[in-house]
Amino acid sequence: DAMVIQNPRYQVTQFGKPVTLSCSQTLNHNVMYWYQQKSSQAPKLLFHYYDKDFNNEADTPDNFQSRRPNTSFCFLDIRSPGLGDAAMYLCATLRDRGTYGYTFGSGTRLTVV
Amino acid sequence: AQKVTQAQTEISVVEKEDVTLDCVYETRDTTYYLFWYKQPPSGELVFLIRRNSFDEQNEISGRYSWNFQKSTSSFNFTITASQVVDSAVYFCALSDANNDMRFGAGTRLTVKP
């Protein structure tokens, strides 16, 4: 089945140690999003790629970076995770601008120790 | 700026009761989309419904129904004859013509047996 896959499902990292979360999709969608969802809060948009064009939300911390080496993969890099970065990270895809129907992955729950 | 308000943080009902989750939105766009998502304890976001700004028809799907009223900028969600399996956090979301989605804070619904 075509889907959005996030690995790993659970990630534990040490304070200050760089960590990378991955998202892959078999849908051939042009747009990929990263959301951060802290406990009991709404998902918050961090950034998205429209094809290779990177779009950063104004309030996304510099500590967060993203890479999209090809259509299928998108990575979220946290350069120096702090305790406040512990959250569920959700990847979503969209076929194209002007269409509808996000497809979300199952998320990666990040713990910082 | 876009904004989604879900004023009800938590709702608790007894099984078989009807329950309505409120959603009020703000946008300056004339073309926009409204969504409801369910997030069970496992964490994945489950798509329930999408409405575009030009379609004010109410919709019923089984025990679920949605009432979209542009005059009051509301998109409310009603579950009829609630069941324990309906227990989850429900998010209302708004996306503009570029499809960048913004979520409300969510309403945690607990259905007790």
| B34-65 residue pLDDT tens | 999 999 988 888 889 888 898 888 888 899 99
Residue of chain B whose Cα is closest to the Cα of A9: B43
Residue of chain A whose Cα is closest to the Cα of B46: A104
Residue of chain A whose Cα is closest to the Cα of B94: A100
Asked if A69 is an interface residue toward chain B (Cβ–Cβ < 8 A), one would say no
Predicted pLDDT of residue A2? 60
Number of CB atoms found within 10 A of residue B35's CB: 23
Q: Which of B51, B44, B1 is nearest to B23 (CA)?
A: B51
Interface-testing mutation among A10, A100, A109, with chain B (most B C-beta atoms within 10 A): A100
- Calculate the average pLDDT of chain A: 92
Predicted pLDDT of residue B76? 97
Confidence of residue B74 (pLDDT cuts 50, 70, 90): very high
Burial of B89 (0-12, 13-18, 19+ CB in 10 A): buried
| B9-22 residue pLDDT tens | 999 999 999 999 99
Distance from CA of B33 to the nearest CA of A (A): 8
In this predicted structure, the answer to whether residue A12 has a pLDDT above a threshold of 90 is yes
